[in-house]
Amino acid sequence: MILVGQYDSPFVRRVAVSMHYYRVPYERRVLSVYGDFDEMRGIHPLGKVPVLQLDDGELIYDSSLILDYLDERAGPEDALVPASGPDRRAVQRLVAIGLGLAEKSVEYRTETFRRPADKQEPDLAARLALQIESALAWLEPRAEKTWLHGDRLTQADITAAVAITNLKGKIPAFMPAGQYPNLDGLTARAEALDCFLAAPFSEA
Ligand SMILES: N[C@@H](CCC(=O)N[C@@H](CS)C(=O)NCC(=O)O)C(=O)O
């Protein structure tokens, strides 16, 4: 399999960490959605990452759909999202907020770093900042124990930890020291796991 994208994307990285967790070997195709836009559009009509290319050439777009495929491949006992019922919905709810945190962080950076200063919308940046802070405040009390749901690692932990590492690396002002002790602990525990160490966050 080939995973397209860079580990500075929280969407690519949560797939990469999950593939290491599942011990699914893959090659990397490190393309930038900005620098390699033409080549990217040849792989994904919107030029987006991640893309997973299966061994027979089939392409899967979007991190949630790639993870759905990987969960199915792992089987219900080992999947990072429980197969059914309240446990499944609880993990999905946590994933939704962790993923939303990643989305809003990427949007905030696009608005404040990529857009020229005279074209920026302060109201939009303030709204995105509020959404990021609100997601962190919602997750913090839920990260009191070792893992966010139950007593083992789930996709909720992978997605939240990847989003928080990305936020700390790219917009550290949102994670001042000591403000989110539970989330700091969760992220440190997750980042120490082999599956995280095998797919390290990179700034560029
Ligand atoms: N919902 C998508 C979001 C993926 C996404 O937004 N990726 C960014 C990179 S961090 C991207 O491709 N941006 C380029 C663009 O949207 O034009 C997923 O979960 O895979």
Domains of the chain listed by start with CATH number: 2-74 (3.40.30.10), 85-197 (1.20.1050.10)
Atom of ligand 1 nearest to the CA of 64: 19
- Give dist(CA 200, CA 191) in Å, integer: 8
Query: What predicted TM-score, i.e. pTM, was given to this entire model?
Result: 0.97
Give 107-117 pLDDT, tens digit per residue: 999 999 888 88
Residue having the nearest C-alpha atom to atom 7 of ligand 1: 49
Centre of ligand 1 to C-alpha 11, Å, is: 7
- Give dist(CA 19, CA 110) in Å, integer: 28
Centre of ligand 1 to C-alpha 48, Å, is: 5
Residue having the nearest C-alpha atom to atom 11 of ligand 1: 48
DSSP E strands: which ranges in the chain? Answer: 2-4, 27-29, 51-53, 59-61
Closest CA to 14 of 194, 196, 169: 196
Give 70-102 pLDDT, tens digit per residue: 999 999 999 999 999 999 999 999 999 999 999
pLDDT at 160 over 70: yes
Among 29, 46, 49, say which to mutate for ligand 1: greatest number of ligand atoms within 8 Å of CB.
49
Give percent of the chain with pLDDT exceeding 70: 100
Query: Which residues line ligand 1 at a C-beta cut-off of 6 Å?
Result: 9, 11, 33, 47-50, 62-64, 106
pLDDT of residue 204: 66
Centre of ligand 1 to C-alpha 178, Å, is: 30
Element (H or E) spanning 165, and its range? helix 155-170
Give 37-54 pLDDT, tens digit per residue: 999 999 999 999 999 999
Residue having the nearest C-alpha atom to atom 16 of ligand 1: 48
pLDDT of residue 116: 87
